[in-house]
């Protein structure tokens, strides 16, 4: 197995230079899509020398976390009994410190007096790893997180497999610790190993959603399997919020494997069912997601983020977030807040945003971005209000677009002239 230190098995990519030419295949790190973060690169047909293997081993060892999850759980027990004045967190190392370790961290930035409340909200204590291509840790705004949790409870779910959604996980965990009648439980699967300092082994698994890799091996896989095992009345839903630059195909493959793990735990006779899922992703990936999951549909609810410049609600960010919930749950069951302007369309049998008008010709509520779309008779579909029909391109586009259509386009939007890492659709929907 071609493996990178911090991410598990590599993924196979294809490098093509000219259209129609057979590409040469290579392995690269599944989580870091920028060579600067992880230099792992290997042509598929290339033999690797012993020296290079040894060098890679060495590099991998240096990137390993300093403690195992089990050690971190023990450390937390010792940390919690310390008086407040001795509870320190090293910001440079992103690590809770025990008094015996202060010395070796001298000269580092400390955060002191770490309260129990802070330990219960690690996503606020840890700084977000905002390198877009590797971690892209954008955290749900409180409003969206609360909405998701209320919706999950209203739908009757009692177990949440939180794949890359640390905010939702901690909201569930902290409610459960404060209120014994609160019966929802969550298991966080996340590539950020720093969370292992705050959660027990049955609450967190170090996991890479791009290659379905459990770093804790068989034991972690077993933890996840156990969590998915349904006791009567404890229905499970998977909620996932992947990095938006992520390869839909790789993600879909991992999610299918998680769904298969759920199916293995099912009782006889329920075999045609799918594990319920909320996949949270920008609306312009709709066709890609539906390609892999035909049973999914996209809800109009706009998911907001705290630390994302573009996707914040209100005055500071762009007014409307392009991020949506894709789900295999029957759309009419997903009740959206009327006080935020959503309404029920009786024809479509789903909640839509207030600007989303039902088009008589398309016979559906066609807007994807919250604005009212308009029907183009020539394209025979509804388009964004800012688009106009271009006779040269024979389709609708922005007025000042350039009329060159070539085959080799960007993976995200299909347009030429840029790579998907710089696709304007990722930044302005």
pLDDT digits (tens, 9 = 90+) for 194-206: 999 999 999 999 9
Q: How confident is the model at residue 374, as a pLDDT?
A: 83
Q: List the structure tokens of 270.
A: 């329920």
Antiparallel, parallel or unpaired: β 213-214 and 235-240: unpaired
- Say if CB 198 and CB 214 are below 8 A apart: no
- Cα 219 to chain center, whole Å? 23
Q: How confident is the model at residue 73, as a pLDDT?
A: 94
Q: How confident is the model at residue 89, as a pLDDT?
A: 94
- Say if CB 288 and CB 279 are below 8 A apart: no
Q: How confident is the model at residue 363, as a pLDDT?
A: 74
Q: How confident is the model at residue 287, as a pLDDT?
A: 92
CA 286 to CA 306: how far, in whole Å?
Answer: 23
- Cα 348 to chain center, whole Å? 28
Q: Is 295 exposed, middle or buried (0-12, 13-18, 19+ CB in 10 A)?
A: exposed
Write the CB contacts of 38 (distance below 8 Å, at least 6 apart in sequence): 4, 5, 6, 7, 29, 31, 32, 134
CA 103 to CA 228: how far, in whole Å?
Answer: 43
Q: List the structure tokens of 262.
A: 């759920």
Q: Is 3 exposed, middle or buried (0-12, 13-18, 19+ CB in 10 A)?
A: middle
For the chain (429 residues), the mean pLDDT of every run of 10, in chain order, is 59 60 67 60 68 66 74 95 95 91 90 93 81 60 94 95 96 92 94 93 93 91 89 84 85 95 70 87 93 94 76 51 93 92 88 83 78 83 86 85 63 64 58
CA 240 to CA 278: how far, in whole Å?
Answer: 6
Residue 111: helix, strand or coil by DSSP? strand
CA 95 to CA 196: how far, in whole Å?
Answer: 10
Antiparallel, parallel or unpaired: β 374-376 and 381-383: antiparallel
CA 284 to CA 318: how far, in whole Å?
Answer: 16
Write the CB contacts of 345 (distance below 8 Å, at least 6 apart in sequence): 351, 352, 356, 358, 365
Tell me the sheet residues that pair with 397. Answer: 388
Tokens 């789903």 identify what position?
A: 350
Q: How confident is the model at residue 165, as a pLDDT?
A: 95
Residue 285's nearest CA partner among 122, 86, 167, 425 is 425
Q: List the structure tokens of 381.
A: 């579909």
Residue 170's nearest CA partner among 194, 195, 150, 136 is 195
CA 298 to CA 286: how far, in whole Å?
Answer: 7
Q: How confident is the model at residue 348, as a pLDDT?
A: 85
- Say if CB 119 and CB 131 are below 8 A apart: no
Our CA dihedral for 180, 183, 187, 188, rounded to 10 degrees, sits at -70
Tell me the sheet residues that pair with 277. Answer: 238
CA 40 to CA 5: how far, in whole Å?
Answer: 9
- Say if CB 188 and CB 204 are below 8 A apart: yes
CA 176 to CA 218: how far, in whole Å?
Answer: 28
- Say if CB 362 and CB 351 are below 8 A apart: no
- Say if CB 78 and CB 86 are below 8 A apart: no
């Amino acid at each position: 197995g071609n493996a990178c230190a911090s991410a598990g098995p590599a993924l196979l990519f294809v490098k093509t230079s000219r259209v129609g030419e057979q590409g040469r295949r290579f392995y690269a790190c599944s989580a870091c899509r920028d060579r600067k973060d992880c230099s792992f690169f290997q042509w598929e047909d290339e033999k690797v020398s012993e020296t290079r293997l040894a060098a890679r081993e060495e590099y991998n060892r240096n990137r390993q976390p300093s403690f195992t999850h089990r050690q971190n759980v023990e450390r937390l027990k010792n940390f919690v009994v310390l008086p407040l004045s001795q509870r320190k967190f090293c910001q440079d190392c992103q690590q809770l410190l025990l008094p015996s370790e202060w010395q070796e961290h001298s000269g580092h930035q400390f955060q002191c007096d770490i309260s129990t409340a802070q330990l219960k909200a690690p996503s606020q204590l840890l700084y977000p790893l905002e390198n877009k291509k590797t971690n892209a840790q954008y955290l749900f705004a409180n409003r969206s997180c609360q909405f998701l949790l209320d919706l999950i409870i209203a739908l009757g779910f009692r177990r949440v497999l939180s794949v890359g959604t640390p905010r939702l996980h901690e909201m569930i965990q902290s409610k459960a610790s404060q209120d014994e009648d609160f019966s929802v439980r969550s298991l966080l699967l996340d590539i950020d190993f720093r969370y292992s300092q705050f959660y027990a082994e049955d609450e967190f698994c170090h996991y890479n959603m791009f290659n379905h890799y459990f770093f804790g091996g068989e034991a972690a896989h077993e933890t996840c399997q156990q969590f998915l095992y349904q006791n009567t009345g404890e229905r499970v839903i998977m909620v996932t919020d992947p990095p938006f630059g992520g390869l839909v195909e790789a993600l879909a493959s991992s999610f299918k494997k998680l769904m298969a793990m759920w199916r293995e735990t099912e009782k006889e006779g329920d075999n045609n069912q799918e594990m319920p899922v909320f996949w949270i992703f920008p609306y312009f990936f709709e066709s890609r997601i539906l390609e892999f999951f035909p049973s999914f549909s996209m809800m109009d609810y706009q998911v907001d983020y705290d630390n994302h410049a573009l996707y914040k609600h209100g005055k500071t960010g762009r007014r409307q977030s392009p991020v949506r919930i894709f789900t295999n749950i029957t759309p009419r069951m997903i009740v959206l807040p009327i006080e935020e302007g959503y309404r029920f369309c009786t024809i479509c049998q789903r909640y839509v945003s207030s600007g989303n008008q039902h088009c008589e010709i398309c016979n559906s509520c066609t807007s994807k971005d919250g604005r009212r779309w308009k029907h183009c008779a020539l394209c025979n579909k509804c388009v964004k209000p800012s688009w106009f029909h271009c006779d040269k391109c024979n389709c609708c586009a922005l007025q000042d677009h350039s009329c060159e259509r070539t085959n080799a386009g960007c993976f995200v939007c299909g347009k030429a002239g840029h790579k998907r890492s710089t696709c304007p659709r990722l930044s302005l929907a």
